[in-house]
Amino acid sequence: MSATDSPPRPERVGRSRRGWTLFSLRGVPVRIDASWFVIAAIVTYIFYARMSVTLGASGPGIILGSALVAALLFFASLLAHELGHAFTSLDRGLPVLGITLFLMGGVTESTREAKTAKDEFVIVGIGPFISLVLAGAFALAHAGVQPTQPFAAIFGYLAWTNLLLAIFNLVPGYPLDGGRLLRAILWGATGNPHRSTRWAARVGQVFAGALIAFGAWVLFRTQGGFSGLWEIVIGIFLFRGAAEAHARARLQERLATLTAAEVMGSMPPILDPQLLLHHAILELETRPSLVWAVGDPLVGTVSLPDVDAVPRRLWATTALAQITHDPSRSTIAAKESMTEVLARIVEAPRQQLVVVDGDRPVGLLTPSLVTEPTRRDR
């Protein structure tokens, strides 16, 4: 599954607000969310139950070891699926924030959408394609070992799971890969990416609703069992994802007709780049939640947390110019469309952008201002 401005920042291995970062490939951090441990336990248990039937005479140690190897290779397959999305995005000039494995599988987060319907189709389609290739590879490996060996069971189950993963992802239920492929096809046919997203999202909601209904039917039919519960959980997750995509597309359609200058609000007074921090703090504390422009012409931007990050003993000798954010990350041209604003504000410092006319700061954009046009339309 893939999801959608600044280049991704290098991330250290270890715990972060997005999860545990395991490693990076081509600058793309690979993380696991805390919920991943739940699905890891479930997958391992399922493989153990299957192996107990297939390898019952081999002993509990071999069965458990085979289940663990199968689970490890399953998540490696899932990661390969997501790496396909990530690397194809990078090859087409789309920065990638990272890959996260979590309860519902995996997600590749990009900082912006593909520029063309063709790019979108290729980026999304590579994931299921990799899963199909892996299914074939594991099937060949299964055929090449003795049927009684543990690896025969491991390769056989992984061939089926990768095949099912590919088929499930090809279902046209947004935000699954199949739904995104449908969106790419509609985009190519209509030339309107936002309307195509809304249509694909509606199809996704129908699919999610059907999955929830099926899960509920199975759950009540088993009279107290847990069969069907997983379908309900997945359906709810997909329905929420499709609803959010529909709302986001509606917002983007409205914003596409506006520029940054038309939506921006007033900003705090421009600060002198040579102002020392022990004086600047008095100004910043008057509007602590905002980003402030430094210099006219603009040198950069600063906010209260930036000053707080500097040891107090240095405030009397440190000027604002020494701690400002690079304007390339924290500003947007007044004539830029609000669609571009929406793509860039997510990764801007404090999710705010200073609007500039040339190199002169003229306004400020905050998340509430960005969404205000659609609220007025309701």
Q: 244 an active-site residue?
A: no
Per the CB < 8 A criterion, the answer to whether 215 and 186 are in contact is no
Q: Where are the beta strands (DSSP E) in the chain?
A: 2-3, 14-16, 19-25, 28-32, 96-102, 105-110, 292-294, 300-302, 331-333, 353-357, 360-365
Sign of CA dihedral 285, 290, 291, 296: negative
Distances (CA, A) of 350 to 38, 255, 276, 354: 32, 21, 22, 11
| Cα dist from 175 to 116, 117, 180, whole Å | 18, 16, 6
CB neighbour list of residue 236: distance below 8 Å, 6 or more residues apart: 208, 212
Residue identified by tokens 């969106």 is 183
Q: Which residues are paired to 302 by β-bridges? A: 292
Distance CA(34)–CA(198), nearest Å, equals 31
What residues form DSSP beta bridges with 108? 2, 99
State how far the Cα of 75 lies from the Cα of 116, in Å rounded to an integer. 31
Strands 292-294 vs 28-32: parallel, antiparallel or unpaired: unpaired
SS3 state of residue 5 = coil
Query: 209: buried, middle or exposed (CB in 10 Å: 19+, 13-18, 0-12)?
Result: middle
Q: Which of 11, 82, 113, 231 is catalytic?
A: 82
Tokens for 348, please give them: 């801007």
Q: Tell me how far apart the alpha carbons of residues 279 and 302 are, in angstroms, rounded to a whole number.
A: 14
Interatomic CA distance for residues 238 and 63, integer angstroms: 34
What sign does the dihedral 84-110-124-44 (CA atoms) show?
positive
* Catalytic residue numbers, as ranges: 82
